[in-house]
Amino acid sequence: MSKGDKFLKWFFSGRGIVDERFKQELGKVATKTLMVFFGVQLIFLLGFGMYMFLAPIKDFETVAAILWICEMLGTSAIFLGMEFVLIHRKVFVQELPEAKAKKAIRHLKFEWALRALFFGIGYWLLTSWLEMGKAGYIAQLFKPESIRRGVLGFVLWGAMMYGIQRWQLRKAKEDD
Amino acid sequence: MNHVREYRKAQKLSQLALADAIGVARQTINLIENDKYNPSLDLCLKLAWVLHTDLNTLFWRDEDE
């Protein structure tokens, strides 16, 4: 598998073989996503631009914050929509013989538990650093609230990613 | 309709075994056999090599088919 193919699988958290049909489906969905993204951006920025130039705005910082939130949410929603379409079209489905499938499921559990653990620790360290007050980093780090958020992030993200990938991993069907 | 299924069965290969042999997903083989996906020339050649036949035999169809 080429580096580009590996990157595609990593980027979309996909399983399965990156073959020409995979790339063709991805290309079709990506083209439509780009068209939707362009259309949404155009309409949103035109509307927002008209508001900015015509309305008597005094607080531009709030306007910038609103613009940032809308862009973040909109872009994320469009990308997630693309991911869901790809999942719905079963592009990422990996079929394995029964014996291999059992082993792959065990490996998948271990893989996501480990990734989620690192994610949880990273999230805990980072949010504690961002939110530390006068009490200092260590005090913030061991606040029950900081630990609870880290653990929750670790459990939720790990479980969600395991669930998505487990759904894509299937026992090979008989010929149909 | 192409003849991939017939030749695969003649070689006693499952869809999964054929897919593994040419490096594609089983679903791709299934779609090709059911005429729901047009494979590239490269993939057609790989299929022909693995099934020990030629492109014409596997994919040729008359105008009225």
Is the interface score ipTM higher than 0.85? Answer: no
Q: Which of B15, B31, B42 sits opposite A21 (nearest CB)?
A: B31
Percentage of chain B modeled with pLDDT above 90: 62
Give the A:B interface size as CB pairs under 8 Å: 39
Contact B30 A93 (CB under 8 A): no
Residue A174: pLDDT band (50, 70, 90) is low
Burial class (CB in 10 A: 0-12, 13-18, 19+), A110: exposed
Q: Which of B65, B16, B18 is nearest to B46 (CA)?
A: B18
**Among residues A34, A62, A92, which one ends one of the domains?**
A92
Contacts of residue B43 in chain A, CB cutoff 8 Å?
20
Does pTM surpass 0.80? Answer: no
In this structure, are A2 and A53 located in the same domain?
yes
Q: Which of A26-35, A124-133, A166-175 is predicted with the least confidence, judged by mean pLDDT?
A: A166-175
Sign of CA dihedral A66, A69, A74, A75: positive
Q: Which CATH number fits the domain B4-57, given the four candidates 3.30.930.10, 3.40.50.740, 2.60.40.1180, 1.10.260.40?
A: 1.10.260.40
pLDDT in tens, B9-50: 999 998 989 998 999 988 899 999 998 899 999 999 999 999
Residues, chain A: 176
> In A, what residues contact B, Cβ < 8 A?
16-17, 19-22, 90, 93-95, 97, 172-176
